[in-house]
Structure 1
């Protein structure tokens, strides 16, 4: 393509006389009679696109002066059709290259004008530290080529933190870049995506910490899952959503509730700016299953549940996700029980009878012994007679130690 940058009239004399070539030659002949005192080589002027052919563009630069932009002078990118770069009637900036041909036709370059403006913009961005955004147009040995109005280069070491083995995913992406080095003489513009991303992340982090408060509801994206919880990207800062704060019910792994990339609303539970830590809660923004629990579980009623935990003093039974009750060891069977595992195991589905409900303290006392007796008597819906629970008995003592959701011995990190 560079060979075509020489005088167009000499090239066209060796070409077949196609309508497009004849049209361009007629354009050049017309220019020979145009007064051009107002434009000089090296000027950057505004011009209006007045004609487009397959090989070039005719531009009116004012004062009845018109010039030609050859195809290779339209853009620093490869161009097949002038219409992909300019439109008829569009006003563009052009660089005056000089005159060509026997008739002295005015020769213009949109590419040179764009590059001049791009260099000025890059130099200003380097001075101010501004982050630019540019599309990746090519993958070359050692890095990426981006379009910043001219060809800019991102070395592989400046694409991201760590080693980038495959650069293919970056092709055609618009990426943030920071100007690292400029050399007009060598036409070299070195840019860094890694530095730009670090600066953007720091700015987002400062903005988030300036406005975040405990108790706020924040929107985030699940960044990663671990055995103990999930890290939520709040926009520049990751917060930890501990597994104990994900659901009102018991879960074995965060993947039962969340997936990477999922958008969620979470509540800010605790902040530690010095350590850059944020503790989050998900169940706090979900409906509380203990609300209206007295209406769903009436004293004396029989309900089926799942044994979810055994303790020395009894068994915890899940009536619904987030609502568990305690079957004291004395209420497991009619005979004396030495340890709960003699009667039930985790995962068992059993019938229980509700002895008392304390929604305020999230406590429900249950009896398997009475439920078994009622079922034996043929009552599966509601048992109208039940024993009063003595608050001073061992059952009352152990209920004080029970609180729904207190499954883990260690505190959320």
Structure 2
């Protein structure tokens, strides 16, 4: 009769079966379940109540709750013809979680999960079981402190599933990368040459500054940072600065964006309007020399050209014969073309002609005074036979 009892019980509910029931009693370390269609009650140990760590069964269930679970063991007391089903709600939750996660991974879908714990190596999230987001997969940006993510609901992609080892790896970085790429493509298609937009200085190099204009970086070459000469980008901008930039060019295929800060700033030429005019005598500094003349800075960012013919009253072959970079010079403004913002200057015109003549006379006097007597011409040599015709 005992054998018949055991056989009927085993055939009815056995290890591995999935059962349903209602919570009959919640104890300190286990939960008693009234199993639907079962001969015995079910017992769920606290360790099998949830995929997450809990200190008390009351954290996840209460009396009267409907539950589903797997039968992990059937215990039978043959002598008293009694028994119990050892159940696991955790195992069923994990199975459902893996099925859900596998489907999302196969369809390349984004899931949402709440951060339940911040640990040294990353974030622990609730995905129906314990999921993990490694530090390297949290963001496309470097993040030193992860504590701000605690309690947040994150959008994630499933990176790796390993049911045998209870391993679920997820990535927030993958979601960010996809959205950044989509945003970049949209922004690139919307930008046009001449657009003026706001950006943030993202990083500096020796050849310029990269500006974030909304998830996409564009380059401001060092020559486009200011109207004035810039030796190093850090002399005029810093990482994090908000700046206005003008789009100079957009290369869709290579995804390169050329920007200018200089073109959004007032022209230095405007600063001299009403202050410098034709015939003005002003001080300047030679900034560079060319074969045809010298460029002289007469105000911050304002340069004028001294043509080679206006450098000296004496003939010179090249400007470098009498000028050198950074030399301070006095110049006269010959003309100002406001429309093209060009200024024509003269060094020789800045020196009064009488001063030049005086200098020439001084040079002649020095020559005569320093010459030997034998070299000086006599009156006879100068006038010859004309002296013979003079009558006294």
Same fold (TM over 0.5): yes
TM (norm. structure 1) is: 0.56
**Does 2:300 align with 1:327?**
no
Name stretches of at least 5 consecutive residues in structure 2 with no aligned partner: 1-24, 37-45, 69-89, 357-392
**Does 2:280 align with 1:280?**
no
Structure 1 residues 221 and 294: alpha-carbon distance in aligned structure 2, compared to 1, 3 A threshold: closer
Query: Residue 274 of structure 2: SS of its match in structure 1?
Result: helix
Distance 2:103 2:217 in 1: 33
The one of 95, 114, 138 aligned to 2:118: 138
**Does 2:223 align with 1:244?**
yes
The Cα shift of 1:221 comes to 2.0
Structure 1 residues 228 and 338: alpha-carbon distance in aligned structure 2, compared to 1, 3 A threshold: same
Query: Residue 366 of structure 1: SS of its match in structure 2?
Result: strand
Q: Hey, what does 1:343 align to over in structure 2?
A: 322
Q: Hey, what does 2:109 align to over in structure 1?
A: 129
The Cα shift of 1:197 comes to 2.9
The Cα shift of 1:256 comes to 2.4
The Cα shift of 1:266 comes to 1.0
Q: Hey, what does 2:40 align to over in structure 1?
A: none
Structure 1 residues 342 and 224: alpha-carbon distance in aligned structure 2, compared to 1, 3 A threshold: same
Q: Which region of structure 1 is more displaced relative to structure 2, 227-236 or 177-186? A: 177-186
Q: Hey, what does 1:147 align to over in structure 2?
A: 125
Structure 1 residues 167 and 286: alpha-carbon distance in aligned structure 2, compared to 1, 3 A threshold: closer
CA contact (8 A) 1:315 1:326 kept: yes
Q: Residue by residue, what CA displacement relative to the aligned partner does 1:58-93 show, whole Å, maximum 9, x if unpaired? A: xxxxxxxxxxxx9xx9995899xx9xx9xxxxxxxx
Distance 1:360 1:274 in 2: 36
Distance 1:188 1:336 in 2: 86
The Cα shift of 1:287 comes to 1.2
TM (norm. structure 2) is: 0.59
Q: Residue by residue, what CA displacement relative to the aligned partner does 1:260-281 show, whole Å, maximum 9, x if unpaired? A: 2222221112121112121112
Q: Hey, what does 1:106 align to over in structure 2?
A: none
CA contact (8 A) 2:113 2:125 kept: no
Q: Residue by residue, what CA displacement relative to the aligned partner does 1:33-82 show, whole Å, maximum 9, x if unpaired? A: xxxxxx9899xxxxxxxxxxxxxxxxxxxxxxxxxxx9xx9995899xx9
| Aligned positions, number | 294
Higher Rg: 2
Q: Hey, what does 2:342 align to over in structure 1?
A: 363
Alignment of 1:5-404 (within 5 A): 76=52, 126=105, 127=107, 129-130=109-110, 132=112, 135=115, 137-140=117-120, 143-148=121-126, 151-155=130-134, 158=137, 168-173=144-149, 177-182=156-161, 188-291=167-270, 293-373=272-352
Query: Residue 290 of structure 1: SS of its match in structure 2?
Result: helix
CA contact (8 A) 2:51 2:130 kept: no
Query: Residue 118 of structure 2: SS of its match in structure 1?
Result: strand
Query: Residue 298 of structure 1: SS of its match in structure 2?
Result: coil
Distance 1:77 1:347 in 2: 74
Structure 1 residues 291 and 156: alpha-carbon distance in aligned structure 2, compared to 1, 3 A threshold: closer
Distance 2:228 2:131 in 1: 54
Distance 2:113 2:301 in 1: 48
CA RMSD of aligned residues (A): 4.8
